[in-house]
Amino acid sequence: MSRFSRRAFLATVASGALARPSFSNAAGRYLVIDIDKMKFGVSHIELKAGDTVRWRNKDLVRHTATARDGSFDIDLPRGEEGSIYLVTPGKMEVYCRFHPGMIMTLSIVE
Ligand SMILES: [Cu+2]
């Protein structure tokens, strides 16, 4: 099992109006990963605890950004965005539930 727990992330799903969790005053960076042409924009990204990752679906079809360990599952209809705020160091795999070949990894360091 992964070292991530469900509590490790504040996950939010953007549906129409973007949900804004408490990360607005986080000191970390804010990184955007575009999804297009059936791929995540990066296959691997290294982050720090306190960073926020935002996925943007620029593709023509619906995708998800889903943690392999179930920590989060962000539904991303066409044109939608969704973010997670990373708090726990570790490595995890993210995939798309609709297209299991779409995979990327996040490494969160202290
Ligand atoms: Cu997909």
DSSP assignment of 85-106: EE-S-EEEEEE-SS-TT-EEEE
Each residue of 2-57: pLDDT tens digit? 444 333 344 433 333 333 333 444 468 889 999 999 999 999 999 888 888 999 99
Distance from residue 103's CA to the centre of ligand 1 (Å): 9
CATH of the domain at 32: 2.60.40.420
Structural domain harbouring 59: 6-109
Does residue 17 lie in a domain region? yes
Cα–Cα dist 83/40, whole Å:
14
Q: Please determine, for residue 89, whether its predicted confidence score (pLDDT) is greater than 60.
A: yes
Domain count for the chain:
1
pTM, two decimals, is 0.75
Is 1 among the domain residues?
no
* Per-residue pLDDT at 71 exceeds 50: yes
| C-alpha Rg value of the chain to the nearest Å | 13
CA of 2 from ligand 1 middle (Å) equals 23
Quote the pLDDT of residue 27: 66
Please give the distance, rounded to the nearest whole angstrom, from the Cα atom of residue 25 to the centre of ligand 1: 31
Higher pLDDT, 19 or 63: 63
Q: What is the mean pLDDT of residues 103-110?
A: 93
**Ligand 1 ion: Cβ-proximal residues, 5 Å cutoff:** 63, 96, 98-99, 102
Residue 66 has pLDDT above 70, yes or no: yes
Ligand 1 centroid–CA 36 distance in Å is 9
Distance between CA atoms of 85 and 44, rounded to whole angstroms? 17
**Strand, helix or coil at 51?**
coil
